[in-house]
């Protein structure tokens, strides 16, 4: 197949998933054409069967904001016509699904019925899409897509709840490359972080309010009262400064490392004993899955798609959002009970294997084929 993938090129979750999916499809022999305003961050080197098409536009004084959606639609028309694409797969509803609809209509006038699949990732539905400014366009774009997928059952239910969606939605979960995320010997690295054998607790995110970084710090402060530990905070964002100030107020700065954005997150997870994810909501919880692939148990909220990944009293524990006392108690139980920690490590890896990229990518291939066939029948 020749597949067009439209995504945000940043380090955000939807862009990462879209890029890794495209790379995996390319290794399976498909031609993959990425379309975005700049090269996706995960396309760091040349790959066979992978192509990138930059969406460019001219800034006219007339426009207060560049008309990206129009430029994207035009670029999609161009790529479909000259690269002979079989299908377009857009990730994140705004503005990709609506741009794909425009492109599809233009191509229909040229006698080409290009199938469009839209994957909803989370905030495009739960946050941005619910805004009354965008809701009618999001609803229309979803319903005009030939196929629609979500990354979790929870997000599927929310999509039907928030929007008047008439399309059938297929759930295809996010995935992980177990070859890239795995536990391996990093004793020298672990000793540098925890020279006295302290337990290593970790959190990674974009430090937005929804991630509840304050809860991470409060949970760790309670852990520290019961067991020697270090907290690794990986990532950056608007809540970082507030978290740094909270650490000072709680006098735990000597035990907390703010590491900022890191490329080699897997190497850090390889030495971790516990992962904290007390988020307000998560459409899927990819960071938790990455931790589990490195045999790290997870303490999380029970929000969104997290219960579909983190299994209660098996790979970790789930608690209501904001219940830091219970989260801390469960964290201490795991860290201070060696047998439980080792069992949860094994369970976490077993669960992560269910989401291995080699198990999930064929689901997308099959779905593409079904949507292409459906469009051929409609012709």
| pLDDT digit string, tens, across residues 165-195 | 899 999 999 998 888 887 777 677 888 899 9
What local confidence, expressed as pLDDT, does residue 13 receive? 73
For residue 54, pLDDT beyond 60? yes
Q: What is the percentage of the chain residues whose pLDDT exceeds 70?
A: 94
Specify whether the CB–CB gap between 118 and 145 falls below 8 A: yes
What are 120-176's pLDDT values in tens digits? Answer: 987 767 665 456 677 888 888 899 999 999 999 999 998 998 888 899 999 999 998
CB atoms within 10 A of CB 226: 14
Q: What is the mean pLDDT of residues 276-299?
A: 94
Reduced to 3 states, what is the DSSP secondary structure of residue 32? strand
Q: Is the pLDDT confidence value at 215 over 90?
A: yes
Q: What confidence score (pLDDT) does residue 315 get?
A: 97
How confident is the model at residue 137, as a pLDDT? 85
Compute φ and ψ for 52, nearest 5 degrees: -125, 135
What does 74-120 look like in DSSP terms, one character per residue? Answer: HHHHHHHHHHT-SEEEEESSTTHHHHHHHHHHHHHHTT----EEEEE
pLDDT at residue 64, as a whole number? 65
What the chain holds in terms of domains, given with CATH numbers, is 2-175+357-378 (3.40.50.2000), 187-353 (3.40.50.2000)
- pLDDT at 34 exceeding the cut of 80: yes
Contact 101, 361 (CB under 8 A): no
pLDDT (mean) for 343-354? 96
- The percent of residues above 90 in pLDDT, for the chain, comes to 70
Please state, rounded to an integer, the average pLDDT across all residues of the chain: 91
What is the spatial distance between Cα 172 and Cα 259, in angstroms, rounded to a whole number? Answer: 32
User: Does residue 42 carry a pLDDT above 80?
Assistant: no
What is the mean pLDDT of the segment spanning 316-332?
Answer: 97
Higher pLDDT, 137 or 359: 359
Q: What is the mean pLDDT of residues 327-338?
A: 97
């Amino acid at each position: 197949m020749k597949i067009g993938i439209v995504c945000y090129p940043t380090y955000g979750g939807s862009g990462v998933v879209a890029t890794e999916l495209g790379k995996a499809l390319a290794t399976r022999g498909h031609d993959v054409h990425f379309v975005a305003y700049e090269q996706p961050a995960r396309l760091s080197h040349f790959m066979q069967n992978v192509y990138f098409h930059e969406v460019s536009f001219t800034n006219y004084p007339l426009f207060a904001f560049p008309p990206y959606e129009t430029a994207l639609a035009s670029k999609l028309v161009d790529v479909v016509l000259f690269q002979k694409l079989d299908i377009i797969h857009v990730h994140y509803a705004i503005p990709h699904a609506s741009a794909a609809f425009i492109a599809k209509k233009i191509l229909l006038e040229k006698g080409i019925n290009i199938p469009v699949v839209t994957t909803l990732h989370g905030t495009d539905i739960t946050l941005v899409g619910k805004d009354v400014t965008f809701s009618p366009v999001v609803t229309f774009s979803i319903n005009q897509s030939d196929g629609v997928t979500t990354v979790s059952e929870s997000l599927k239910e929310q999509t039907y709840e928030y929007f008047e969606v008439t399309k059938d939605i297929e759930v295809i979960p996010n995935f992980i490359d177990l070859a890239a995320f795995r536990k391996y010997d990093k004793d020298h690295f672990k000793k540098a972080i925890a020279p006295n054998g302290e337990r290593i607790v970790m959190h990674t995110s974009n430090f937005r309010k929804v991630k509840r970084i304050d809860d991470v710090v409060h949970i760790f402060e309670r852990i520290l009262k019961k067991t020697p530990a270090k907290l690794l905070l990986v990532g950056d964002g608007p809540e970082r400064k507030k978290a740094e100030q909270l650490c000072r107020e709680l006098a735990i700065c000597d035990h907390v490392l703010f590491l900022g954005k890191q490329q080699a997150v897997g190497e850090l997870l390889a030495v971790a004993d516990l992962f904290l994810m007390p988020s307000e909501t998560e459409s899927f919880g990819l960071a938790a899955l990455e931790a589990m692939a490195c045999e790290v148990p997870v303490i999380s909220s029970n929000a969104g798609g997290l219960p579909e990944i983190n299994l209660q009293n098996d790979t970790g524990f789930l608690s209501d959002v904001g219940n830091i006392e219970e989260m801390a108690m469960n964290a201490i139980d795991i860290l201070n009970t060696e047998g439980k920690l080792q069992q949860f490590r094994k369970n976490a890896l077993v669960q992560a294997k269910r989401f291995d990229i080699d198990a999930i990518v064929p689901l997308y291939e099959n779905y593409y084929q079904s949507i292409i066939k459906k469009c051929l029948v409609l012709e």
